[in-house]
Structure formats: structure tokens, C-alpha cells
Structure 1
Amino acid sequence: MFKGVYTALITPFTAEGAIDEPALRRIVNAQIEAGVAGLVPVGTTGESPTVTHQENIRVIGIVIEEARGRVPVIAGTGSNSTAEAIEMTREAKKLGATATLQVAPYYNKPSQEGFYRHFTTIADTVDLPIMVYNIPGRTGKNIETDTLVRMANHPNIVAIKEASGSISQMMDVIARLPEDFAVLSGDDNLAFVLTSLGGQGVVSVASNLIPSRMVKLVDQTLQGEWAHAREAHYKLLPFFRALFLDTNPVPIKYMMHRAGFCENSYRLPMVPLSEENQRSIDALLTRYGIV
């Protein structure tokens, strides 16, 4: 169902901290014009922990309105509360979301059975395709492959954004899940690796700023143009690494600000980059011909 580059959109804020709707609409159109396969609003990169539930749904609505059916919109409506995830997913479906991104419940660190019941309960309650989001570095606990295999039996659980950082786990997931179950990288620096191993692409942070380059990299990999894809991967590797100079989404949001897409505005506890990291990123953007 999912293949290619799906951009994990930033949520632009005004200097006063409100959602910057005009900036978000401009970003959506730039993404679609660059050829991305789909858009993923209000994930980690969209600062989901610091927007209210009402703002979460409003951002999803803006993206759906501006996309106008041109690309799928995978709405970030996850929560560590199953009831809250269901409530927001229902709202996203009413707005016309194509699918939903559901992060593994965080902080409360459920058992594997708890993971299974959380995702399948959402899938039973709201008839919308689910992309599971496994990111143990943020949530505190890994969704094991055995659990994912069980969940994949549900017709509404159709994909995973795999951000465990473990190539061994990625291979295990690809090998054991049904062929029609999409496995996408949650890390730009592993997009080439996971896709070359049989995955379907990436939910990308980098594509906020360099969508056409990410589309080309993933398309070349999917088409088996290994030499070209590998060359593109290594050319972009310094860019991917720069995304982790500070906590995501601070570096990519600063990059987007420097490129003229948005204000350099965050919500606490996220804070702007240090001057040293700003200088490093400014030099990188100049090297890539972005600013």
C-alpha cells in the first residue's frame, strides 16, 4: 500500500508560537510538487508532544485540505493512551485522512501483549489503515517482531515505520512479514539500506528540505539501480548526520528556516540550536547549494 518517500512534516510555528498555517500550506505544496509519495503530519518531526489535541487535528486538517487528494496523508494520531489514540484517529478519518501513523505507547512501557492489544483495539474501532511506528529510543520499549507478525494478521494494520536502528531487526521484519505489508525506514541514513534489503522506502525527515533528492535516492533503490543509489546515499550522508546534531526536529526546522520556509520557532522544552551547531549547519547548507 505504501512505497516511496513519505515526508514527516515539520509543524511551523509563528514567532509567537502559534501554528503558522500559511507556511504549512506552502510546505505541503512544495512537497507535492517535488514528487513525494505522501505526507505524514504531526509525528515526532511535527512536534506532536507539544501541540494540543485540537491543534493536532487542525494540522492534519490543513494538510488534507491543501493536499486535495493529490497524495495520501498519513495522520499522526498516536498516544500512550489507547482511548486518546482512538479519539484522534476517529477525527482524522472524518477529515479524510488516508491512513494513520500510530506510535508505540511511550513512557508507560507496555508488555508485548499490551502493544498487541493497543494497536488491534485501534484497528478494530476505527476502519482506517494503520502504520505502526516503532521507535524504542524515544518510547523506551521495542515492538518485537513476533508481536508485529501477530498484528499484521489484522486487515487494518498494513505497514511499519521501523526506527529501531537495528539492521538485524529490519531484516527479520522484512523476512517474516507478509509481502503486502509495507516496511519503511524511520531513519534517513538507513533508507538506502532498508529499501535495498526489501523495504518499501522511508518516512523521511530530510525530505522536508530536499524532497526531490530523497525521491531520487529511494526510486533508484527500488528500481535496483544500486550504484547510482549508493552514490546518492553517500553524498547525502553528511546531511543525514546533521539532522542529529540536536534532537529532532530542531536541526531540520532550523534548516527549513534558513531556506525561507518557516520561522525558527519551537515550543518548550525544545529550544533553538546552539550557535556552534548553527554554524555547522549553515556551512552544510552552503555546501549542498541550499542557501
Structure 2
Amino acid sequence: MFTGSIVALVTPMNDKGAVDRASLKKLIDYHVSSGTAAIVSVGTTGESATLAHDEHIEVVLQTLELAAGRIPVIAGTGANATSEAISLTQRLSNTGIVGCLTVTPYYNKPSQEGLYQHFKAIAESTDLPQILYNVPSRTGCDMLPPTIARLAKIKNIVAVKEATGNLSRVSQIQVLLDDEDFILLSGDDSSSLDFMQLGGRGVISVTANVAAREMAQLCHLAEQGNFAEARRLNQRLMPLHQDLFVEPSPTPVKWACKALGLISTDTMRLPMLPLTDAARPVVERALKSAGLL
């Protein structure tokens, strides 16, 4: 459940900005039928930053209810206050989630020791498996390989989502690990295949929102060691990997989901805005290049 193509699921909203349950069910059904390995509910792509805490919990619970055991659900539970991250984690304990994805604290830029103590405190507050999430382009905070290796020694810290796009991090982390079972996941679609060829076990993917079957196939081919075929598929997806970030994510991927009929609107909450007229043809071309339109 912590390997393969894991989708960083968008949170569909109606015209008034409320969570759109019907579209959420449609998305989940799409991922179940497409072979997606697991769903991350209310991560960065799920607009965790603009959902109130009670909404955050409710979206995860709705996702669990609609998934109905057909696909594992991982909850985004990160926060820049350790107590807040612990609260989110504990509120979702015993709900049916299979683990938590916890982002590095944003804005306050803690030291490496501060990061270690933050994630250690969260892990010790729960029995749920924990996936570390390192995305310095979003948080302004980079969790370095020695810190990841230290945290990997904690029993229920089982994986890391590495979203720097820096492929050298794979070997830098691996050489420091004592636990061969610790899972490295890419958080960058553009470099995810190379990441897997170096020893990564999958990707937590934005692209999978609209190319679920293709991303599942890509990860399956990589797992089999068929990198020649995987690379041909990845080349077809590359414009999508890149152009889903033509404007701040998840704006482009939400528009793409609507264009494919997966959700009813591409409504965003301020300060995020819908995709601009100038960017729409860019995303449309990427969808066509991938064979999705």
C-alpha cells in the first residue's frame, strides 16, 4: 500500500467552495478501476492549506466512506506546529486510514534537530505508519538525508516522500539507512521514473489524478525492471508531468480533472485562483499529448 502509484488526490469543490461529494466518489471510483495503489487524502494537492481543520477531517472520513475498503487511504496530517500535527493524527486514528503523510513544518524553518524532534513526537503519539514528506520548494525547509536516516530508526516511520527532484538524494539516503525495508517514494512526477530506477519504490503523484491507469502501469513496469517500456510511456506523459505545474498546483490539475469530466468544477479557494485563459491551452496540449483528450 506504500508502493506503486499513489495519487495525491485533489479535493473537488462545488461553485460555492464546499466539498463536492459526488465528484469525490467519481474520482475514487476512477482510481479503483485504474489500478492506483492508494489515495493520499488532503495532502498539498488536496488543498490542505485552505481547508479548516474540521473540513480536513471530514474530507478524509468521506474518502474512507466512499472508498469502502476498495483502495487504501493515507491521510495528510502535516502542520507547522507539532501539537497541531499530533491532533490531526490522533483525530484520524481508528478511522480506517492506513497511514499518515506528514509534511515538514512550513514557514518557521526548524533546524535538523527540530525536524527530528517534530517527527519523533508525532510518531510516538500514534501506532499509525508515518510517511515523511520533504518538499522544500513549498515549505522553505529541507530535511536532509542524515535526518531522514535517523527518523527511519523509529518503528512506525516507514517511508519518505522525497520531492526535491534531486536524484542524488536517493543514494544519499540509501547509504545511511540501517533498515532495508524503509521505502523511498518520489514526490516529483518528472523525475519519478529515474527515482525508481535508482531504488525508489513508487511515486505520490499529481499526474495520477488524470492519468491514473498510465501511472499505475509506469510503476508496474519499473517494478518489473522493464525500464525501456517504462521510459517510452514516461516520455508520452512528460508534458503532463511538467505542465500540470504551469501555474501553482493544484490549479492546473483541477482544471484538467474538470476537462476530463472527473469533477464538476475547478473551483479553488483564495488565495488560489482558477487556471488563467493563457495557461489553459498549455494544459490541454499536455492532456492531448498523453492521449487523454
- Under a length normalisation based on structure 1, what TM-score does the superposition of the two structures give? 0.97
Tell me the equivalent position of 2:79: 79
Tell me the equivalent position of 2:103: 103
- The correspondence of residues 55-66 of structure 1 with structure 2, limited to 5 A, is 55-66=55-66
**Alignment CA distance shift 1:181-1:268 (3 Å):** same
C-alpha deviation, 1:285, in angstroms? 2.4
Tell me the equivalent position of 1:260: 261
Distance 2:286 2:184 in 1: 30
Tell me the equivalent position of 2:193: 192
Given that 2:38 and 2:73 are in contact with CA atoms closer than 8 Å, whether structure 1 keeps it comes out as: yes
Distance 2:213 2:291 in 1: 14
Given that 1:76 and 1:100 are in contact with CA atoms closer than 8 Å, whether structure 2 keeps it comes out as: yes
Distance 1:202 1:245 in 2: 20
State which drifts further: 164-173 or 112-121.
164-173
Equivalenced residues, count = 291
Tell me the equivalent position of 2:154: 154
One-letter amino acid of the counterpart of residue 256, structure 2: M
One-letter amino acid of the counterpart of residue 279, structure 2: N
Q: Secondary structure at the match of 1:246?
A: coil
Tell me the equivalent position of 1:230: 231
Distance 2:137 2:259 in 1: 28
C-alpha deviation, 1:71, in angstroms? 2.1
Given that 2:239 and 2:289 are in contact with CA atoms closer than 8 Å, whether structure 1 keeps it comes out as: no
Distance 2:135 2:170 in 1: 12
Distance 1:259 1:180 in 2: 37
- The correspondence of residues 7-22 of structure 1 with structure 2, limited to 5 A, is 7-22=7-22
C-alpha deviation, 1:170, in angstroms? 2.4
Q: Secondary structure at the match of 2:44?
A: coil
Cα offsets for 1:32-85 (capped at 9, x unmatched): 111111000101100110000001001100111122222221100110011111
C-alpha deviation, 1:179, in angstroms? 1.4
- The correspondence of residues 1-291 of structure 1 with structure 2, limited to 5 A, is 2-177=2-177, 178-262=179-263, 263-291=265-293
**In percent, how many aligned pairs have the same letter?**
42
Distance 2:284 2:139 in 1: 31
- Under a length normalisation based on structure 2, what TM-score does the superposition of the two structures give? 0.97
**Alignment CA distance shift 1:44-1:140 (3 Å):** same
Given that 1:191 and 1:218 are in contact with CA atoms closer than 8 Å, whether structure 2 keeps it comes out as: no
Given that 1:106 and 1:139 are in contact with CA atoms closer than 8 Å, whether structure 2 keeps it comes out as: yes
Q: Secondary structure at the match of 1:107?
A: coil
C-alpha deviation, 1:246, in angstroms? 0.6
Unaligned runs of 5+ in 2: none
Distance 1:173 1:28 in 2: 33
Alignment RMSD: 1.1
Unaligned runs of 5+ in 1: none
One-letter amino acid of the counterpart of residue 144, structure 1: L
Distance 2:183 2:292 in 1: 32
Distance 2:16 2:49 in 1: 18
